[in-house]
Amino acid sequence: QVQLVESGGGLVQTGGSLRLSCAASGGTFSSYAMGWFRQAPGKERELVAAISWSGSSTYYADSVKGRFTASRDNAKNTVYLQMNSLKPEDTAVYYCAAAPSMQVGYNSWGQGTQVTVSS
């Protein structure tokens, strides 16, 4: 399995931006689809964005569509989540995960990074 480490979280005001990074090691990164999940206190973990192994296909939850952009650099074994126009409801711990396909099978997870959006 691939090992994943997220970075880039922090505190930002409403309307601000953050870019999360997820560095992979120990596996063939370019063979995995990658997903970004988030979990807010008292809520279930949800998939907010995913990107195919080549980067040619992406998925976004309706709640982030048009504001978040997933991208990847297979040469750097890194996937990114650019988050713009942040809202207080985006506050959560964000996790990256690896899977054989974009929709199912996420079996490698990072430790998470906290994103807090103040109103």
Give 41's Cβ-side CA count (13 Å radius): 5
Q: How confident is the model over 7-50, as pLDDT tens digits?
A: 999 999 999 999 999 999 988 898 899 999 999 999 999 999 99
Q: How confident is the model over 104-115, as pLDDT tens digits?
A: 899 999 999 999
For residue 33, give both structure tokens: 């689809």
